[in-house]
Amino acid sequence: MPWHSEVTGETAVPLTTVLTGAADAFDGPDDIEIGLDGFTMSLTSPTRALTMRLVDVGGDGWPTAALAPAFAFQQAHTAVLEVDGDLLRCLKRAAIVRGKAGPVRLTFTPGTLAIGAAQAEVHTESDDEIEIDYDGPEHTVADNPEYLTAALGSAPDGKPVQIGFGTPKKPVTLRSDADPTWRHVLMPVVI
């Protein structure tokens, strides 16, 4: 994509969902002017304009105020996932079954992750199991499959991911030893 900048060294961290929505809104061939003031980012074209709040970032370019609490506490449980075709296919099947809304359930038991979803209106459900490295008690987390799949899809290629979880209302964290800068936080859906 061709671009031109009059500023160097600026870092902007917008919320992914807002930026994705903005990309859909600016679908024409017009040039888009991007403005930054440290707290907001503006996107302006001849036919549209959008301003979004930025996430506060630290010296390493990673969000601080918004995400620091999620990484500051110790997770009660951690499982290691291989981000491969099996995992992503199971998430995709569960997302299809759940319809347009609702979470997918991730049930962790020693050595196994069960991925499932249900849709009461059409009386369908999905349950797949994959082997994982986990030896804690049975624990179920519900997540939005789109956010989870997007996060896992950005993981370092072929490297395991640690998924940390605790109580149903605490964030789920994703990390990788292969790249300490790769981190994600997902808020679980309360079921």
Q: What is the pLDDT of residues 71-80, one digit of tens each?
A: 555 788 899 9
Task: Please give the tally of structural domains in the chain.
Answer: 2
Q: What is the mean pLDDT of residues 62-85?
A: 70
Residue corresponding to tokens 């020693």 = 110
For the ranges 8-12, 22-26, 45-49, the maximum mean pLDDT occurs at 45-49
Q: Are residues 83 and 4 in the same domain?
A: no
Q: Residue 61 corresponds to which amino acid?
A: G
Band (pLDDT 50/70/90 cuts) for residue 84 is confident
Q: What pLDDT, on a 0 to 100 scale, did the predictor assign at position 107? A: 92
Q: What pLDDT, on a 0 to 100 scale, did the predictor assign at position 172? A: 87
Q: Are residues 37 and 74 in the same domain?
A: no
Q: Are residues 86 and 153 in the same domain?
A: yes
Q: What is the mean pLDDT of residues 78-107?
A: 86
Q: What pLDDT, on a 0 to 100 scale, did the predictor assign at position 14? A: 66
Q: Are residues 4 and 81 in the same domain?
A: no
In degrees and rounded to multiples of 5, residue 44 shows phi and psi of -135, 130
- For 7, the token pair is 């500023």
Q: Are residues 164 and 73 in the same domain?
A: yes
Last residue of a domain, one of 15, 33, 61: 61
Q: Are residues 19 and 106 in the same domain?
A: no
| Chain mean pLDDT for the chain | 78
Last residue of a domain, one of 13, 35, 61: 61
User: What is the rounded CA–CA span in Å between residue 106 and residue 151?
Assistant: 15
pLDDT at 118 over 70: yes
Nearest to 104 by CA among 125, 120, 81, 86: 125
**Eight-state DSSP code of residue 121:** G
The total of other beta-carbon atoms located within 10 Å of residue 159's CB is: 13
Q: Are residues 4 and 93 in the same domain?
A: no
Of 58-67, 70-79, 125-134, the poorest mean pLDDT is in 58-67
Q: Are residues 103 and 166 in the same domain?
A: yes
Q: What pLDDT, on a 0 to 100 scale, did the predictor assign at position 191? A: 66
Band (pLDDT 50/70/90 cuts) for residue 167 is confident
Q: Are residues 91 and 146 in the same domain?
A: yes
Q: Residue 106 falls within a domain, yes or no?
A: yes
Q: Residue 191 falls within a domain, yes or no?
A: no
Band (pLDDT 50/70/90 cuts) for residue 7 is low
Count of alpha carbons within 13 Å of 171, Cβ hemisphere only?
A: 17
Last residue of a domain, one of 46, 61, 76: 61
User: What is the rounded CA–CA span in Å between residue 36 and residue 155?
Assistant: 28
Q: Are residues 53 and 84 in the same domain?
A: no
User: What is the rounded CA–CA span in Å between residue 35 and residue 20?
Assistant: 17
Domain boundaries, position 114:
68-186
User: What is the rounded CA–CA span in Å between residue 50 and residue 37?
Assistant: 14
